[in-house]
Amino acid sequence: MIYTVGRLKRTAGALASGTAADLNQNEPSSEPTPTEQTVQSGISLSGVSKSYPVNGEMIPVLKNINLDIQQGEFISLVGPSGCGKTTTLRIIADLISPSSGTVLIGGQTPRQARLQRRYGMVFQSAVLYDWRTVIKNVMLPLEIMKLPRQEQLQRAEAMLDMVGLKDYATHYPGQLSGGMQQRVGIARALALKPDILLMDEPFSALDEFTREKLHEDLLQIWQKTHKTIVFVTHNIAEAVYLSDRVCVMSPHPGRISNIIEIGLPRPRNPQAKTSATFSAYVNLVRSSFEGV
């Protein structure tokens, strides 16, 4: 026991002294910025504001959001409760409309993009319909698209395979753990074969072990499918670990405080979380918040 403590102290010292060197070491190996890519499934928000009437007064929730998301980019919106990150995502998804400003999704309005089912959405809870089996849940959007039955089955099976739940196809949601349910939710979003994946705090209700597993799953899926992912979270480490860029938002009114490019090399693995560079990025994100 005593031995362990002593060892911890020593390594902590080594980590502290190595911070600067680590940062320098990793900086050059960061990925090239994807600016030269096409914006086919890129998302651009310009001057987007949203306010709600409260007791006859218009309370601004989002103020002048400008953000360009590149095709194939993994971007996180991170911030405390009430900073408007979910509102921003819902505006992109056309679940609410902005009070002013314009949103373009690959040149289309959010409404057009929604009706063409260009994005898949994953919510805070898995939102599985508990009267449907797992595979039937994944098939739900495909039924609505009126695809041929055989194709529905094939696609749903492939997606379940991708999230590692092939053996659970005929189970009911009530028989799965929270993490498995959320993976079904992701499979259902992917079943549409969308260009864009919108994720609203998808892992916030999960325990740490499951969450870390799903991080790896998600990164793998992203690498395989090259989707544009907009990921909303209040977990800074999660945002840094997963993203190409982290968009830091602050509340009252909701606004973008900083956009930080994460230079950690890809593909990422859990070891990266222990590096000093990682901690430095986490601290950078944390210090970017304005007010509370």
Residues between 41 and 60 with contacts to another protein, criterion CB under 8 A: none
By CB under 8 A, is residue 18 in contact with another protein? yes
Q: Backbone phi, then psi, for 171, in 5-degree steps?
A: -75, 165
By CB under 8 A, is residue 172 in contact with another protein? yes
DSSP letter (8 states) at residue 32: P
* Residue from 20, 58, 59, 144 binding another protein (CB under 8 A): 144
**Minimum gap (Å) between residue 148 Cβ and another protein:** 18
Element holding 218 (H helix, E strand):
helix 208-225
- Judged by beta carbon, residue 189 or residue 249, the one nearer another protein is 189
The length of the chain in residues reads 292
By CB under 8 A, is residue 274 in contact with another protein? yes
- Judged by beta carbon, residue 176 or residue 248, the one nearer another protein is 176
By CB under 8 A, is residue 170 in contact with another protein? no
By CB under 8 A, is residue 10 in contact with another protein? yes
- Judged by beta carbon, residue 217 or residue 290, the one nearer another protein is 217
Residues 83 and 253 sit within 8 Å (Cβ to Cβ): no
Residues 227 and 73 sit within 8 Å (Cβ to Cβ): no
3-state secondary structure of 119: strand
By CB under 8 A, is residue 270 in contact with another protein? yes
Residues between 186 and 245 with contacts to another protein, criterion CB under 8 A: 192, 207, 209-210, 212-213
- Judged by beta carbon, residue 98 or residue 250, the one nearer another protein is 98
Classify residue 22 as exposed, middle or buried by CB count within 10 Å of its CB (0-12, 13-18, 19+).
Answer: middle
By CB under 8 A, is residue 143 in contact with another protein? yes
- Judged by beta carbon, residue 132 or residue 166, the one nearer another protein is 132
DSSP letter (8 states) at residue 108: B
Closest CA to 85 of 95, 96, 93, 77: 77
- Judged by beta carbon, residue 118 or residue 245, the one nearer another protein is 118
* Residue from 81, 174, 224, 291 binding another protein (CB under 8 A): 174
Closest CA to 185 of 129, 117, 239, 241: 129
Q: Is the sign of the CA dihedral 197, 200, 206, 207 positive or negative?
A: positive
**Minimum gap (Å) between residue 34 Cβ and another protein:** 26
Cβ neighbours of residue 151 under 8 Å, at least 6 residues apart?
142
- Strand 119-122 to 74-78 pairing: unpaired
Residues lying near another protein in the complex (CB under 8 A) are found at 3, 8, 10-12, 14-15, 18, 90, 93-95, 114-117, 119-121, 123-125, 127, 129-133, 140-141, 143-145, 168, 171-172, 174-180, 192, 207, 209-210, 212-213, 270-271, 273-275
